[in-house]
Amino acid sequence: MKHPIVICGYGPGISHAVAQLFGWAGHPVAIIARNAHRLADGVAALEAEGIKVQAFMADLSNVKEVQRTIADVRAAMGSIGILHWNAYTNIEGSLLLASPNDLSNSLSVRIIGYITAVQECLADLEANQGAVLATSGAMAFYGAEIDAFAKDFGILAISVAAQHKATGILTETLKPHGIYVGEVIVNGFVKSTESGNEHHATLEPNDIANQFWKMNAMRKTHSIVFGENLAAQRR
């Protein structure tokens, strides 16, 4: 029996495709989100495909809820093998108009909740030689074109950038523990998501899920850019 994959920030896009792919391969799937209806729809869809799945409702910006939920997953499903962090807040707009609450909430999800979840899963992931998989975005990178595009997505952009740096540090920090870290930096809008519905979506969630699968299977590359919406350049 394979160890469970815990998907934080479940929705109908990338995370559902990841749940399908790893579920088909025999991993029990735990899906976590704030929206009860979204979770119920996810459970119904995944169970219809023969995937073992359980839903857990939580606000992933709240440290105590993250800690409680990871403990609940472990108690219900056993030792955790993979943590997929796909959580974000879909807040757009200029930094000049950003409220302190919106800024704090976005960083709480992308950084504080993320790192807390890794800490709570650490013993399991080390025992199982498991993995942390993170969904990121190209607005994390530097460059005039990217910053010009990101000015209308300021809150999202700075929190994505912080998460990208955290993932790089976690990659090196978790290596001695035998834990793999893999990041897919999504360069474009994804179909079947809120942002994809509002903007010109070109990327298929299944294609991104396949990247996570390949990276976890090979465990050689730790970060890739998927898509060509912006001229993403690392610095």
CA distance 118 to 70: 10
Is residue 233 a part of any domain in this protein?
no
Is residue 16 a part of any domain in this protein?
yes
Is residue 179 a part of any domain in this protein?
yes
pLDDT of 228 reads 74
Is residue 232 a part of any domain in this protein?
no
pLDDT of 191 reads 78
Is residue 231 a part of any domain in this protein?
no
Note the pLDDT tens digit of each residue in 65-122: 999 999 999 999 999 999 999 998 877 788 999 999 999 999 999 999 999 999 999 9
8 Å CB contact between 169 and 117: no
CA distance 181 to 23: 19
pLDDT of 9 reads 97
Is residue 66 a part of any domain in this protein?
yes
Is residue 91 a part of any domain in this protein?
yes
Give yes or no for residue 199 having a pLDDT over 70.
no
Note the pTM of the prediction, 2 decimals. 0.93
Domain ranges, residue 14: 5-226
Is residue 168 a part of any domain in this protein?
yes
CATH of the domain at 203: 3.40.50.720
| Segment 129-140 mean pLDDT | 95
Percent of the chain at pLDDT > 90 equals 78
CA distance 188 to 196: 9
| Segment 188-195 mean pLDDT | 71
- The full 3-state SS of the chain, as one line of letters, equals CCCCEEEECCCCCHHHHHHHHHHHCCCCEEEEECCHHHHHHHHHHHHHCCCCEEEEECCCCCHHHHHHHHHHHHHHHCCCCEEEECCCCCCCECCCCCCHHHHHHHHHHHHHHHHHHHHHHHHHHHHCCCEEEEEEEHHHCECHHHHHHHCCEHHHHHHHHHHHHHHHHHHHHHHHHCCEEEEEEECCEECCCHHHHHCCEEECHHHHHHHHHHHHHHCCCCEEEECCCCCCECC
> CB under 8 Å to 48, separation ≥6 — which residues?
none
Q: How many domains does the chain have?
A: 1
Chain centroid to CA 70: how far?
A: 15
pLDDT of 234 reads 46
8 Å CB contact between 128 and 213: no
Give yes or no for residue 196 having a pLDDT over 80.
no
